[in-house]
Chain A
Amino acid sequence: MTDFSLISNEALRGEIEEFVTRPAEIERNLRVFSRAHPRMQAIALAVIEGEHHLCDRLTREALEAGHVAIEVMDDGLIAGMGVVGIKFRENFIFVPEVLACARAMKSGMAHIEPILSASGVPPAGKVVMGTVKGDLHDIGKNLCIMMLRGAGFEVVDLGVDTAPDAFIDAVEESGARLVGMSALLTTTVPNMGRTIEAFIDAGLRDDVQIMVGGAPVTQEFADDMGADGYGKDALACVAEAKRLLGINA
C-alpha cells in the first residue's frame, strides 16, 4: 500500500515518487513525511532543492511559530537530507548538487544547534572521521560527514593525510566511541590497518568502534584489517554508524 497522497506538499511528494524506488525506503519516507507538519515538509524540500536562503528563512520561521528544535531538525532537515542521499546513490544528482543541499542543511542547523546545546539535548552520537595518512582524497569522506551530520551525529573532521596518532588524540579529546577512516588509494589502504594497530598499541582498541570506506576498500579488506564496520556509500556510512553505536534506525 503506497499512498503518496499522504504527503501534502506536492513538490515533495513528486520528489519521493520520482526518486525513491526501494520499497523499504518508500515506506520510511511516507511514514516520516505523512505525519510531518507542512512547514517541516517545506523545510525538507528546501534541503532537497539545495535552497539555502529559503531553508534558512523557513527554519527561522518554524522556530518562531513555536515548533521545537528537535521536530524541525528531525522532520525537516534530517528527513530532507535522507532523500538527498538516495538521489546521490542512484546518480540522479552529483557532487555539486549534494554540496548545495548540505549548505542548505547547514543554514538551517545554524538556528537549531544553539537551542540544542543550550537545552543539553545530546547528539545522536559522536564520530571522528578522517582520510588516512598519505591520501588527500576527501570528497567521499566529506559527503559521509555531511550525511552523518544530516542524520544528527556530531562529527570531528580530521581532514586529509591523517596520521594514526591524530586519530587517537581526537578520540581521547572528544570522547567519541566511533572512528571512520577513508582511503582512495591502494597505496594508502594499508594505513587503515596501521591506524587500527596504533589503537591496539595505545590500549584503546576496546573503547572504540572503527569503520572504514572509500572506493578501493571492500568488506573483505575491512574484515582482514580488523575493522568493525564497512560502508560502500554515504548512506551505508550512516547505517553503519547507527549499528555500531547501537542506535535504532
Chain B
Amino acid sequence: MSQPISPMTSRQRVLAALRREPVDRTPVCNPTSVATVELMDLADAFFPEANRIPEKMANLAETSYTELGFDTIMPVFSIIQESSALGCKIQWEQKDNWPTVKMREPIWRDVEDIRIPPDLLTHPDTACVTEAIRILRRRHGDEVAIIGKTMGPWSLAYHGFGVEPFLLMALDDPGKTMQVLERLKEVTIAYGLAQIEAGADALTLPDHATGDLVSADYYRRFLKELHAEFAARLPVPIILHICGRTVDRMPYIAETGMAAFHFDSKNRPDESMAAVCGHCALVGNINNPETLFARDPEQVEAEVLANLEAGIHLVGPECAIPLQTSIENLRAIPRAVRAWHSAGGGARCHHHDHSHNNG
C-alpha cells in the first residue's frame, strides 16, 4: 500500500510533514523552546545572554539538532523579543528562568497609544533573532528546518495592555479590540517576513487565546480571520501555537489555512485529530510539567507512542519545555519515534496520511 520513501533530511521531513505529505519517518519538533539549563551548560550559552546575543542564541538553539536529535532548530526561547522592541519593560531574569514582560506596567491604554516604532526590526532584541537565523542557516545549510517565531496580535496585546485590561476590553468593546488587533497584526507580519528573509523555513505564531482564559467564540470572532490573513500573507508554513485547552476551537483553527497547530497535552491526540479533520497538521503534545520534567524516559516514550498512533504529524513537547528538564528525557522522544517506525509503525503512518489527503 505505502510506497517506500527514500531517506529525507530533517528539513525535507519537517516541510513535508507540515504539508501533510508522506515522510520517511515522523519528524520531531519543538516550535516553542527547547532551552534547558543542561543544554546551556553544553553550549556555554546561558539566559539571559542567549536571549540577547545572536551567537549565543544560535549556539543554544542548535543543540536541539546536534544534541537531542530533533529535526528542527528554534532560536526564540521566549515570547517577548518584539515586545521589547515595542517598548514593553522586560524582566530579563537569569539562567534558570525565562524573561517576561512586566505586564503590571502597561504601556498602552488605547488604540492610539499603539505605535509601531521605526526600529521594530533593527532593535537589538528583534535583530538578535534574525541574526541568529542567518548564523544557523550558514552553519547548517539545508540539513535541518529552522523555525522562526512571530507573536500574534492577541499575545502582543496582553503584553502592551496587561492581560486583564485587555480581556476586559474584549468583553466591553469588541470594536475597539478589533482595531487593536488590526494595528498589531502589522507587527506580526513585519517580524515574520524579516525572519523568512533571514532564512526561516517556517514560523511559529503563538497567540494565546487559550481555553484557560477565553471561550472558543472569542477565537472565532476576533482571531479566525486575522489568522487566515497571516496564513495567506506569510509565504512559509505557519504553526499556530496556543497552549492550554483548545480542542473546542480547533475546528476554527483548521479553517484558517494555517499549515499546523501546536497543541497542549490538555487535549488528547485522537480527539484533536478528529477536531482538525485533516485540514491542518498537528504538532505536539508531550506533557511538560508532569511527564518531560518529572518522569522517566519510559513515560515520555509512552506519550510519543500515543501521538504516533493517533497520526500526529510532528511529535514534540507541548510548549516551552521546563528549563530543568533532563536531556535524557528529551532524547527519548526521537528514539521512540525511530523505534516505532522501524517496528512498522511508519507504514501505518503513511497510510493514515494518504487517507487524509484524499478525504
Residues of A within 8 A of B (CB): 50, 91, 94-97, 99-100, 103, 134, 136, 139, 142, 159-161, 185-188, 215-216
Contact = CB atoms under 8 A, between A and B. Distances in A.
Interface in B294-338: 294, 322-324
Nearest to B321: A186
A187 B324 contact: yes
12 contacts: A94-B211, A95-B214, A96-B167, A96-B171, A96-B213, A99-B168, A99-B171, A136-B102, A139-B213, A186-B288, A186-B289, A187-B324
B289 A216 contact: yes
Main secondary structure of the interface of B (DSSP, over half): loop
Given A139-B164, A142-B164, A186-B324, A96 B293 contact: no
Contact of B168 (A103, A159, A160): A103
Given A187-B96, A187-B97, A100 B171 contact: yes
A94 B215 contact: yes
Contact of A136 (B100, B164, B171, B211): B100
Nearest to A142: B164
A65 B211 CA distance: 43
Given A159-B104, A187-B322, A187-B323, A134 B214 contact: no
Interface string B232-268: 0000000000000000000000000000000000000
Contacts of B93: 134
A96 B323 CA distance: 31
A186 B293 contact: yes
A203 to B, nearest CB: 29
Contacts of A161: 91
Contacts of B163: 139
Nearest to B162: A138
B170 interface: yes
Contacts, number: 59
A97 B322 contact: no
A45 B163 CA distance: 26
Contacts of A159: 104
B103 interface: yes
A25 to B, nearest CB: 22
A97 B102 CA distance: 24
Contacts of B322: 185-187
Given A96-B170, A99-B171, A216-B289, A136 B215 contact: no
Given A139-B213, A161-B91, A100 B168 contact: yes
Contacts of A99: 164, 167-168, 171
Nearest to A218: B290
A95 B293 contact: no
B103 A95 contact: no
Interface in B157-215: 163-164, 167-168, 170-172, 211-215
A216 B294 CA distance: 11
B168 A94 contact: no
Contacts of B170: 96
A215 B245 CA distance: 13
A159 B289 CA distance: 23
Nearest to B266: A215
Interface in B92-142: 93, 96-97, 100, 102-104
Interface string B213-241: 11100100000000000000000000000
Contacts of B104: 159-160
Given A136-B102, A185-B97, A215-B289, 9 more contacts: A95-B212, A95-B214, A96-B167, A96-B213, A99-B164, A134-B93, A134-B97, A136-B91, A186-B322
Nearest to A98: B167
Nearest to A93: B215
Contact of A96 (B103, B214, B324): B214
Contacts of B289: 186, 215-216
Nearest to B168: A99
B219 to A, nearest CB: 11
A115 B40 CA distance: 57
A91 B104 CA distance: 27
Contacts of B214: 94-96
A95 B97 contact: no
Nearest to B172: A100
Nearest to B97: A134
Nearest to A143: B164
Contacts of A96: 167-168, 170-171, 213-214, 218
Contacts of A50: 171
Contacts of A139: 163-164, 213
A20 to B, nearest CB: 19
Contacts of A160: 104
B46 to A, nearest CB: 15
Given A187-B97, A187-B322, A136 B103 contact: yes
